[in-house]
Structure 1
Amino acid sequence: MPNTVFTKPLHVLALILMAVMTFAISACQPTDSNQADSASSTDWSCQSHTAPFAYSACHIQSDLLTDERYSLQLFWQSSDSSTPLLTFDNLLNILPSPQSLKFAMNAGMYNENYAPIGYTVIKSEEIRALNLKEGGGNFHLLPNGVLWWDKSGKVQITESNALAKQLKDGSAQPWYATQSGPMLVINDAIHPQFNPDSSSAKIRNGIGVCSDGSLQFVNSEAPVTFYHFAALFKDELKCPNALFLDGGIASALYAPTIDKHDKKEMGVMIGLVENKD
């Protein structure tokens, strides 16, 4: 009887110790290839949020675009350059088979023919010259700006007049560029013409280059004012520079990982592409 009382707890304790040791050893083992691939997906992701208002955001880590498998691209016309693509479905149809579109949204503003109204560069070819004119509408709510990146994949948002100087002295050599307006955040300050008490709330989308070098592509799912949309980039997402892309019926998002696939028509599109070769 005394032997029975003491040997059973010791036996249980031994089993527990063996289980703990097995877990510790396995935790130190390298992951298999599938797990590693899954972990790499943290370099980009799309998520839906409910606060401070409903919005969807796709995030790219700063070093992802130096990986030859990935590229950020602008798309506008069909492969024969005769007609605008207009929709995400048409874009998906023209992508070469080794490539896959991870997410996309509308880019710079466009006219009634779906042609860009601001500076547009696609693979170093200037499609539309830098637009420094004054006028009405959101595009001309100055300062406006340009989202652009060079061939190395370094992405920047630059106020339009500042970029004009960089283009002139050769310090900026865009591989891709799209101009829109207004700027939402300029050097960590909200656009000076935005009113925090404004009641003009609309669906809006934009992009921010954040303090850690990452990119945030945001599409509001609920109407929001310019001020509060800009505040999201500045205060919540920590993006010292952000650019409004468009709003209302022109805001569109393709993000299959969060079940977003807008069917709207648009001009230039921006998308993250993975080359699976």
Structure 2
Amino acid sequence: MPSEPLRRLGAALALLCAGTLAATAEPDCRKIAHDGNRYTVCTLRADQDEIRLFHSDAEGNLFGSFSSIDAALAAEGKQLSFAMNAGMYHEDRSPVGLYLERGTQSGPLVTRDGPGNFGLLPNGIFCIREHSAQVIESRRYAENPPDCRYATQSGPMLVVDGALHPRFLSDGTSRYIRNGVGVAADGVTVHFAISDNRVNFDSFGRFFRDELNTPNALYFDGKVSRLHAPSIGRSDSGFPLGPIVGTVAPVE
């Protein structure tokens, strides 16, 4: 019969192996229908999956596409197992609002009202921490900035503390393919969603609140929305993007 130290070592090794398997597993990407609309959702765990933001390489050259990021990751023996556009950008593809990559800020925090969807307050920030993630309203972030390794600001918030954005209309006529992110109450389960048909903000917000049960969710963009999900055979292409969020996994 194994001694107590051996039993403990065996248990520790089992946990380590389980964590490694979870970290390298393909993201859980699936189709979900809700209230007459169709969505594709990829669910990750911030305590297991390596979630990063991408904008430019070390020389300052814009990535702009999923394939460019994949090519750069190949030098690390890694690949994108999931990705989507992650925030609004100017014509030169620089981020609109706060942008942090590996703790280095390259975009300003914007907390004032403004034009367009970004300025439709409250807007918010998707913050990736060491072993957790959160969607936080921008002014709340400004009051007490969390320790984010990566962060991207966008707007509007879709869900704020369990409530829909106050300016959403159930009969809103602005309908686009839209994408966004929501974080569950546990602070580690992260749901990335893109609509498969044109939806308004109210429908998209209710999907995050009522179907995905995320108390806080953030709109990334519309019209330009794209998804990279090899596990379901999908990788959208098009003109160059600005900020991109992705999950990094070893090349098998």
2: CA distance between counterparts of 1:220 and 1:212?
Answer: 24
2: CA distance between counterparts of 1:76 and 1:62?
Answer: 20
Please give the TM-score of this superposition, normalised by the length of structure 2.
Answer: 0.85
Checking the alignment, whether the CA contact within 8 Å between 1:62 and 1:212 is kept in structure 2 is: no
Task: Give yes or no for the alignment of 1:187 onto 2:161.
Answer: yes
Structure 2 residues not aligned, in runs of 5+ = 1-17
Checking the alignment, whether the CA contact within 8 Å between 1:43 and 1:61 is kept in structure 2 is: no
2: CA distance between counterparts of 1:89 and 1:43?
Answer: 18
1: CA distance between counterparts of 2:20 and 2:52?
Answer: 23
What number of residue pairs does the alignment pair up? Answer: 231
2: CA distance between counterparts of 1:56 and 1:123?
Answer: 28
Residue 101 of structure 1 aligns with which residue?
80
**Secondary structure, in 3 states, of the residue corresponding to 2:198?**
coil
Residue 30 of structure 2 aligns with which residue?
47
**Consecutive aligned runs of 4 or more in structure 1 exceeding 3 Å deviation:** 35-44
Residues 118-127 or 71-80, more deviating: 71-80
Alpha-carbon distance, 1:41 to partner: 7.0
1:189-215, Cα deviation, whole Å (9 max, x unpaired): 000000112122111000000134311
Of residues 125, 139, 143, the one that matches 2:104 is 125
2: CA distance between counterparts of 1:161 and 1:267?
Answer: 23
1:112-168, Cα deviation, whole Å (9 max, x unpaired): 000001100000101112112321100000000000122x2310111001100113x
**C-alpha spacing 1:42/1:122, structure 2 compared with 1 (3 Å):** closer
Q: Which has the larger Rg?
A: 1
Residue 140 of structure 1 aligns with which residue?
119
Checking the alignment, whether the CA contact within 8 Å between 2:27 and 2:231 is kept in structure 1 is: no
Of residues 161, 172, 180, the one that matches 1:198 is 172
Residue 92 of structure 1 aligns with which residue?
70
1: CA distance between counterparts of 2:181 and 2:143?
Answer: 23
Alpha-carbon distance, 1:78 to partner: 2.5
Residue 115 of structure 1 aligns with which residue?
94
Give 1:45's aligned amino acid: D
Please give the TM-score of this superposition, normalised by the length of structure 1.
Answer: 0.78
Checking the alignment, whether the CA contact within 8 Å between 1:181 and 1:243 is kept in structure 2 is: yes
Checking the alignment, whether the CA contact within 8 Å between 1:45 and 1:59 is kept in structure 2 is: yes
Task: Give yes or no for the alignment of 1:273 onto 2:248.
Answer: yes
Of residues 124, 139, 144, the one that matches 1:161 is 139
Structure 1 residues not aligned, in runs of 5+ = 1-34, 65-69
**Secondary structure, in 3 states, of the residue corresponding to 2:118?**
helix
**Secondary structure, in 3 states, of the residue corresponding to 2:69?**
helix
Give 1:89's aligned amino acid: S
**C-alpha spacing 1:98/1:251, structure 2 compared with 1 (3 Å):** same
Name the one with the larger helix percent.
1
Residues 87-96 or 40-49, more deviating: 40-49
Alpha-carbon distance, 1:60 to partner: 1.2
2: CA distance between counterparts of 1:36 and 1:198?
Answer: 44
**C-alpha spacing 1:98/1:42, structure 2 compared with 1 (3 Å):** closer
**Secondary structure, in 3 states, of the residue corresponding to 2:68?**
helix
Give 2:176's aligned amino acid: K
**C-alpha spacing 1:210/1:117, structure 2 compared with 1 (3 Å):** same
Name the one with the larger strand percent.
2
Checking the alignment, whether the CA contact within 8 Å between 2:27 and 2:82 is kept in structure 1 is: no
Residue 57 of structure 2 aligns with which residue?
78
1: CA distance between counterparts of 2:19 and 2:132?
Answer: 25
Percent of aligned pairs with the same amino acid:
36
Supply the RMSD in Å over aligned alpha carbons: 2.2
1: CA distance between counterparts of 2:108 and 2:247?
Answer: 24
